[in-house]
A and B are shown apart, each in its own frame.
Chain A
Amino acid sequence: MNAQLTKGNEAIVKAAVLAGARGFYGYPITPASEIAEAAALYFPLAGGVFVQAESEVAAINMLYGGAAAGGRCMTASSGPGISLMQEGFSYLAGAELPCVIADIMRGGPGLGNIAPEQGDYNQIVKGGGHGNYRTLVLAPDSVQEMADLTTLAFDLAERYRNPAVVLADGFIGQMMEPVTFADPRPVAAPPEWAVTGTRESRHNLVSSIYLEPDKLEQHVRKLEAKYQEAERRETRVECWRTDDADVVLVGYGIVGRILKAVVEQARRHGMRVGLLRPITLYPFPVEEVRALSRRARAFAVVEMSTGQLRDDVRLALEGRRPVEFYSRVGGNAPSAEEVLAFVEAKFEALRESEVLVHG
């Protein structure tokens, strides 16, 4: 299959169908609406279900029902809608139901605006719902990754019986790049825990209630152990020119792309700068950050939110190295030029005495 010029939001839907998803339950919100629109077209054509719910609250609870029935299903939304879905995230994690949620972030708080931002980091990565749970969070930086990480999200969600989130921003959702899609996968038989209305599955129960404290503690410990396993096995990062880096820039999603341009330009200016781009935000690449701190002298976090990612980098570093910070919010993206100026101002001392001439 040739690469297809594809919009980010559409890539999610096509990848989901190819990965065997046959249920989509959504509510429109810019800049995620094209996901619901494409799903409304492709899911029924693929023999699946599309329902436009009456709210995000209903959508996430439909996802709960669809997942309980054992099929691969998903929804998509953005800031305000994701806030409404938090009840459902908690129930899905508590009932150990696998499903995929795409969050195409926009500006907040409140109604904010519909331009790209990364302000949903905390509510997705830290879990905005109640109780001791996590969601598995994948952060694409390209349209190809919108497709690939959607596929991966379904696999991880099933492996860990937990909701998985594809966390992107309005830019990645709206932009077009060539994508090579995976081959279609057949719809798998429902897992044995699913409630499918058959004699064999009759004794199955999907629930998040554990009335007795000891039972609930046991359940929460079981979830905790799953998350620890995910932390050991599922962390993914892209390290870009970090081998000799004095300064490691950290950013995800569209910011990661911008930072690649910054790395190139900074190196032309004689600074050994590299990029660490977390692909999984939960589990967070703690070990990878620490490993780079052995050589790098400083870290600089760049994000389109006011320090939500920076907090995790600091936690990972535990004070080993200083962490500088640059952000744009409100729908503004940092330009490569302004980040470069920031990097140069902050790390002037690290510039090599002889400036390299253009390669």
Chain B
Amino acid sequence: MGSFTLTHERPDCFYDRFERKSELQHQTHYCPGCGHGIVHKLLAEAIDGLGVQDRTILVSPVGCSVFGYYYFDVGNVQAAHGRAPAVATALKRSLPDKIVVAYQGDGDLGAIGTAEIVHAANRGEAITVIFVNNGIYGMTGGQMAPTTPLGKKTATTPFGRDALNEGYPLHICELLASLEAPVFLERVGLGNNKQIMGAAKVLRKAMENQVKGLGFSLVEVLSPCPTIWKMDPVEAQRFVREEMAAVFGIGNYRDRTATATPRPARPAPPKLEELPGILGLGNGDRDRLPCGETSAVDYRIRVAGFGGQGVLMLGEVLAEAGLDAGYHVSWLPSYGPEMRSGTSNCHVRLSSRPIDSPLVSQPNVLLALNEPSLHKFLPGVEPGGIVLYNGDAIPEGCGRGDVRMVALPFTRIADQIGVSKAANIVILGALLEATDLVENEQATAALHKLVKSPKWFDIDVQAMERGREEMRKTTMPVSDDYLWGV
């Protein structure tokens, strides 16, 4: 096995003594002839050679190389089994000018972490991945790896790997080469000194790519595991050279280093005082009455109709206008399957006192934009409450003597101003006419805030006015003799 040792000096980015190890701190925990030891050395030499020891962060996997941090005198993060590419992704995104290396075995990268490696590669994360393929699970004692050659007996393939039962060896470089983003993919071997010297160059290139700011680079290393394959180191090298390399072709699978452009630097972050503006906070707001300085009211409103009728938006306008008017407010939508099945409703509260429950089970205002909503919510309306229904007349059997009910064809009225979709705002106008919920000005300000297009804003203002007019024509008393449940 003497032939493995190419250089005898310890690279700078190796610790002199492995103090994180509990014993035998002068030697590694790897078996004699293990490929991990060689790959560590090659990686260390690349880091030294590029002068990036201080900038490098090594993400170690779960597998025999879990203790990478015993040896590498660089920043170290140990990841969960298979997740190194995800961990490395966030490290690199957080620290774009650092050198982030994910080091993984074949079980780690090719089995449990398949999703993580494919997607990190597909996003073109500007990291370097060292993928040590020894065709077997070393750490757990010799179970089949996704890269175990067909026919090979392992602890979990006692009859030999059978394609019918275990599928075929997974070719990671080829798989990743089907993606657009990777910049560099190459498979190397540790089958003899020549291969090792070749591997050293490729590893260095994969690291250099990152130093240059290029995208995703991965080196797959066909690597001996004498212990598990029950071979002596020389035989294990032969296995790599002859049997592994026969299944996994050594060579380059992607090299776009000549054409790849470095990732653009992120723009400078905004100033601290710009943040509230960026988040849409506080810009151009009207001064408002402080909450609670209005007369005692407690509006518990339910708005309901078909999806697309602007039910949620109407609720939002009420809440915005209420906030402007100095009320405590809440707005709670129904969401999910209800939305999909075509109906929509929301709970709105405007109160002069802090709001306990934002859920309105007994509304004192019901705005029913369609008939099913009227059927559904009318029974819950509090005696004395107001019901505005979008229709020519209250449907048969829907009457309630103890609430104030008004039926108006709001959609048709909206049609008359040319936009049937504005029916929700026609109702808003009618409601404002029937109650003293909020001032016209506050409703208009709310619309101004929520309706971005000037054209729609004008239509809505018109719709609101029409709603008021129509309401004035009805016989419903608009007095405030009703005390809003306070």
**Which chain A residues have a beta carbon within 8 Å of chain B's beta carbons?**
1-5, 14, 17-18, 22-23, 25, 30-31, 42, 45-49, 51, 53-55, 57-59, 61-66, 68-69, 71, 73, 87-88, 91, 95, 113-115, 170-171, 174-178, 181, 184-187, 195-199, 201-209, 211-212, 254, 257-258, 260-261, 264, 331, 333, 335-337
Contact = CB atoms under 8 A, between A and B. Distances in A.
A71 B269 contact: no
Contacts of B237: none
Nearest to B15: A203
Given A42-B278, A184-B275, A61 B116 contact: yes
Contacts of A46: 269-270, 275, 278-279
Contact of A49 (B56, B77, B90, B119): B90
Given A14-B281, A49-B93, A65 B76 contact: no
Contact of A68 (B77, B316, B328): B77
A47 B267 contact: yes
A55 B53 CA distance: 32
Interface in B53-91: 53-57, 59, 66-67, 69, 73-80, 83, 86-91
Interface of B: 20, 22, 53-57, 59, 66-67, 69, 73-80, 83, 86-91, 93-95, 98-100, 115-116, 118-119, 123, 266-270, 272-273, 275-276, 278-282, 285, 287-288, 291, 316, 319-320, 323, 328-333, 335-337, 355-359, 361-362
Contacts of B330: 175-177
Given A1-B281, A58-B119, A205-B78, 6 more contacts: A31-B336, A57-B83, A171-B332, A199-B54, A211-B22, A258-B357
A260 B357 CA distance: 7
27 contacts: A2-B282, A2-B287, A3-B323, A5-B319, A25-B90, A31-B335, A49-B94, A53-B119, A61-B80, A65-B79, A65-B86, A69-B94, A91-B79, A91-B80, A170-B336, A171-B358, A174-B332, A176-B316, A177-B331, A177-B355, A186-B272, A196-B98, A197-B55, A202-B53, A206-B77, A264-B356, A337-B362
Contact of A4 (B93, B123, B270, B281): B281
**From B20, B116, B275, residue with most partner A Cβ within 10 Å:** B275
A57 B115 CA distance: 10
A65 B288 CA distance: 44
B358 A184 contact: no
Contacts, number: 242
- For the complex, would chain B's binding face be called helix, strand, loop or mixed by DSSP majority? mixed
B279 A18 contact: yes
B89 A65 contact: yes
B79 A61 contact: yes
A341 B332 CA distance: 24
Contacts of B75: 195-198, 201-202, 204
A311 to B, nearest CB: 25
A25 B278 CA distance: 20
B275 A65 contact: no
Nearest to A215: B22
Given A4-B282, A197-B54, A205-B78, A174 B115 contact: no
Contacts of A257: 355-359
Nearest to A211: B22
A170 B332 CA distance: 10
Given A47-B270, A171-B332, A65 B285 contact: no
Contact of B87 (A64, A170, A261): A64
B320 A5 contact: yes
